Amino acid sequence: MKSTLYRLYEDRLWNEAHAWRMPEHIGIVLDGNRRFAREQGTAVHDGHARGADKLDDVLTWCERLKIRIVTVWAFSVDNFTRSAAEVSGLMTLFEERLRALATNPRIHDTETRVRAIGRTELLPDSVRAALNEVESATRQYTWRTLNIGIAYGGREEIVDAFRRCFVAALARGDRPEQIAAALTPESIEPYLYTAHVPHPDLIIRTSGEVRLSGFMLWQSAHSEYYFCDTYWPAFRAIDFLRALRSYHQRQRRYGR
C-alpha cells in the first residue's frame, strides 16, 4: 500500500513539475554515503558505490526536466584526511566511474560535457588520467554540463582564483598596486573553477546536515538552498521533485 501511494504521489509531482519555474543550474552536495552503509549493515565502500549509482538517476531526472547544468560535490579536499583504506577505495571507484562516463551512451546522446572542478593535481595519476579521458571525450558538447567537484573546496577555489588573477595581471606587466586597485568581483569571476557556467540557482544537500561545508562559496551568494534528510544513496525522485517545488515557490530577490 505504501509503495503504491508513493508511486501515485511521485506521478502527481511529475505532472505538476512541467508548470514549475526550473533552475538552469543545480548544485548538489552528495552527503550521507557512509551513514547509509552503516544503517544498512554494509561496508562503507558499498555506500559510496550506491551513491555513485544514484548520480545516474539524478542526471536522468534533470534531463527529463531540461535542467542543463549540474554540479556535484563528490570528494572534498578535507576528505583526504579519512582513513587510507577509504580514500584508496574512493579513488578506485572514481577511476572506474569516470572511465565509464567517457563511453556512456546517455552522456553522448544528451550531449553532456563533463568537467572536473577542484585541485585535481592532488589526485592519483590514474584518476587524473580518467578525468582527462572523460573531459576529452565530451569536450565538443555545449548543450548540457556536468561539473564534478573532486578534491574540491570552496575556500581553495577562491584562493586559486585570486592566484590566477594575480599571475595573469603580473604577466601583463601590471604593478602590485595596480592589481589591488583593479580588484572587483567581476575581475575574479573568470578565474573560478566554474567560470564556464552561470552560478547555481539551487543547491541541494542530502543527509540532514544544514550547512554548505564550503560548497561553491563564491557562486552561492544568491542561490536558493534546500536541505533534505534523506541520505544520498537513498535519494528518491520524490525528494528531488520536492526540492524543485520548493524552488518554484520561492521569490528570488538577489539582495534587492
Residues 6+ apart with CB under 8 A from 85: none
**pTM for this model (two decimals):** 0.95
pLDDT of residue 201: 98
pLDDT of residue 2: 58
Tens-place pLDDT, residues 66-106: 999 999 999 999 999 999 999 999 999 999 999 999 999 99
Beta strands in the chain (DSSP E): 25-29, 69-76, 112-117, 144-152, 202-205, 224-227
Tens-place pLDDT, residues 126-157: 999 999 999 999 999 999 999 999 999 999 99
**Do 71 and 27 meet the contact criterion of CB atoms below 8 Å apart?**
yes
Alpha carbon of residue 235 to chain centroid: 15
Sole residue written with cell 582527462: 132
Long-range contacts of 134-137 (CB under 8 A, 24+ apart): 134/98, 134/99, 134/101, 134/102, 136/102, 137/102, 137/103, 137/108
pLDDT of residue 180: 93
Which residues are catalytically annotated? 31, 79
* Helix axes of 237-249 and 44-64: crossing angle, nearest 10 degrees: 50
Interatomic CA distance for residues 218 and 145, integer angstroms: 19
- Residue 242: how many other CB atoms lie within 10 Å: 16
Task: Tell me the domain boundaries of the chain.
Answer: 23-153+199-249
Phi-psi region of 216 (alpha: psi -120 to 50; beta: other; left: phi over 0): left
Question: Residue ranges of the chain with pLDDT lower than 50?
Answer: none
pLDDT of residue 4: 85
Where would I find the H helices in 103-212?
105-109, 125-138, 154-171, 176-182, 185-188
163: cell is: 592566484
The fold for domain 23-153+199-249 equals Undecaprenyl pyrophosphate synthetase (3.40.1180)
Interatomic CA distance for residues 82 and 100, integer angstroms: 25
pLDDT of residue 3: 80
